[in-house]
Amino acid sequence: MKLIFVYNASHTRAGSLLASAHKFFSPNTYRCDLCSLTFGVFFENRRWRAFRKSTDLEMVFLHKDQFLKQYKSKWLPRYDFPVVLSQEKDVLELFLSSADIANIKDAEGLIGAIQSAI
Protein backbone atom coordinates (compact mmCIF):
# COMPACT_ATOMS: atom_id res chain seq x y z
CA MET A 1 0.00 0.00 0.00
CA LYS A 2 1.10 3.51 -0.81
CA LEU A 3 -0.17 6.64 0.94
CA ILE A 4 -0.65 9.78 -1.13
CA PHE A 5 -0.64 12.99 0.89
CA VAL A 6 -2.25 15.85 -0.99
CA TYR A 7 -1.64 19.33 0.39
CA ASN A 8 -4.19 22.12 -0.10
CA ALA A 9 -1.50 24.33 -1.60
CA SER A 10 0.14 25.10 -4.93
CA HIS A 11 3.56 23.69 -5.79
CA THR A 12 4.76 26.90 -7.45
CA ARG A 13 7.46 29.05 -5.86
CA ALA A 14 4.95 31.87 -5.43
CA GLY A 15 2.53 29.43 -3.80
CA SER A 16 5.22 28.26 -1.39
CA LEU A 17 6.16 31.81 -0.44
CA LEU A 18 2.53 32.76 0.05
CA ALA A 19 1.92 29.69 2.22
CA SER A 20 4.97 30.42 4.38
CA ALA A 21 3.91 34.03 4.85
CA HIS A 22 0.36 32.98 5.68
CA LYS A 23 1.57 30.43 8.26
CA PHE A 24 3.83 33.04 9.83
CA PHE A 25 1.48 36.03 9.92
CA SER A 26 -1.91 34.35 10.33
CA PRO A 27 -1.53 30.67 11.28
CA ASN A 28 -5.11 30.36 12.58
CA THR A 29 -6.54 31.09 9.13
CA TYR A 30 -4.13 28.90 7.15
CA ARG A 31 -6.22 26.46 5.09
CA CYS A 32 -3.92 23.46 4.84
CA ASP A 33 -4.13 21.49 8.07
CA LEU A 34 -1.88 18.79 6.60
CA CYS A 35 0.81 21.39 5.86
CA SER A 36 0.57 22.64 9.43
CA LEU A 37 0.95 19.12 10.83
CA THR A 38 3.98 18.16 8.75
CA PHE A 39 5.78 21.49 8.37
CA GLY A 40 6.53 24.56 10.41
CA VAL A 41 6.86 27.92 8.72
CA PHE A 42 10.08 26.95 6.91
CA PHE A 43 11.08 23.38 7.80
CA GLU A 44 9.60 19.91 8.07
CA ASN A 45 8.40 18.97 11.56
CA ARG A 46 11.19 16.95 13.24
CA ARG A 47 8.93 14.27 14.71
CA TRP A 48 7.10 13.84 11.42
CA ARG A 49 10.38 13.65 9.47
CA ALA A 50 11.74 10.99 11.85
CA PHE A 51 8.58 8.90 11.39
CA ARG A 52 8.58 9.35 7.62
CA LYS A 53 12.21 8.26 7.36
CA SER A 54 11.85 5.30 9.72
CA THR A 55 8.71 3.70 8.31
CA ASP A 56 8.57 1.09 5.56
CA LEU A 57 5.30 2.59 4.38
CA GLU A 58 5.57 4.10 0.90
CA MET A 59 4.50 7.74 0.96
CA VAL A 60 4.10 10.27 -1.84
CA PHE A 61 3.57 13.98 -1.22
CA LEU A 62 1.78 16.15 -3.78
CA HIS A 63 0.34 19.61 -3.88
CA LYS A 64 -3.27 19.90 -4.99
CA ASP A 65 -2.44 21.07 -8.52
CA GLN A 66 0.10 18.26 -8.98
CA PHE A 67 -2.39 15.64 -7.79
CA LEU A 68 -5.19 16.88 -10.05
CA LYS A 69 -2.86 16.83 -13.05
CA GLN A 70 -1.29 13.44 -12.30
CA TYR A 71 -4.52 11.64 -11.38
CA LYS A 72 -6.87 13.40 -13.78
CA SER A 73 -9.83 11.18 -14.57
CA LYS A 74 -13.53 11.66 -15.12
CA TRP A 75 -14.06 8.86 -12.59
CA LEU A 76 -11.96 10.45 -9.88
CA PRO A 77 -14.18 11.47 -6.95
CA ARG A 78 -14.12 15.09 -5.83
CA TYR A 79 -11.98 15.42 -2.75
CA ASP A 80 -11.82 18.21 -0.22
CA PHE A 81 -8.15 19.03 0.29
CA PRO A 82 -5.98 18.35 2.15
CA VAL A 83 -6.50 14.61 2.01
CA VAL A 84 -4.55 11.38 2.43
CA LEU A 85 -5.39 8.58 0.01
CA SER A 86 -4.26 4.98 -0.05
CA GLN A 87 -3.35 3.31 -3.31
CA GLU A 88 -3.13 -0.39 -4.02
CA LYS A 89 -2.45 -1.19 -7.64
CA ASP A 90 -4.52 1.40 -9.53
CA VAL A 91 -7.23 1.83 -6.89
CA LEU A 92 -7.36 5.01 -4.80
CA GLU A 93 -9.29 5.03 -1.53
CA LEU A 94 -9.84 7.68 1.09
CA PHE A 95 -7.45 7.11 4.00
CA LEU A 96 -7.83 10.38 5.97
CA SER A 97 -10.40 12.95 4.91
CA SER A 98 -9.98 16.69 5.18
CA ALA A 99 -12.28 16.59 8.24
CA ASP A 100 -10.19 13.81 9.82
CA ILE A 101 -7.02 15.84 9.27
CA ALA A 102 -8.63 18.99 10.71
CA ASN A 103 -9.29 17.10 13.96
CA ILE A 104 -5.65 16.05 14.38
CA LYS A 105 -3.79 18.40 16.72
CA ASP A 106 -0.11 17.70 15.98
CA ALA A 107 2.39 15.49 14.14
CA GLU A 108 2.15 12.85 16.87
CA GLY A 109 -1.61 12.67 16.29
CA LEU A 110 -1.10 12.28 12.53
CA ILE A 111 1.39 9.48 13.10
CA GLY A 112 -1.04 7.76 15.46
CA ALA A 113 -3.90 8.07 12.96
CA ILE A 114 -1.77 6.52 10.23
CA GLN A 115 -0.53 3.69 12.43
CA SER A 116 -4.00 2.82 13.68
CA ALA A 117 -5.48 2.80 10.16
CA ILE A 118 -2.90 0.50 8.53
In this predicted structure, what is the pLDDT of residue 9?
81
Question: Residues 92, 94, 100, CA angle at the centre, nearest 5°?
Answer: 160
| Confidence tier at 111 by pLDDT (50, 70, 90) | very high
Range of 18-27, 30-39, 103-112 with top mean pLDDT: 103-112
pLDDT, position 40: 77
Q: What is the pTM of this model?
A: 0.81
DSSP assigned state of 38? H
> Using one digit for the tens of pLDDT, what is the confidence trace for 28-87?
554 678 988 998 767 899 999 999 999 999 999 999 999 999 988 877 788 999 999 999
Say if residue 26's pLDDT is above 90: no
Whole-angstrom distance, CA of residue 69 vs CA of residue 92: 15
Which are the contacts of 48, defined by CB distance < 8 A and separation ≥ 6? 37, 38, 107, 110, 111
Q: What is the pLDDT of residues 1-12, one digit of tens each?
A: 999 999 998 765
| Nearest in space to 88 (alpha carbons), one of 64, 61, 58 | 58
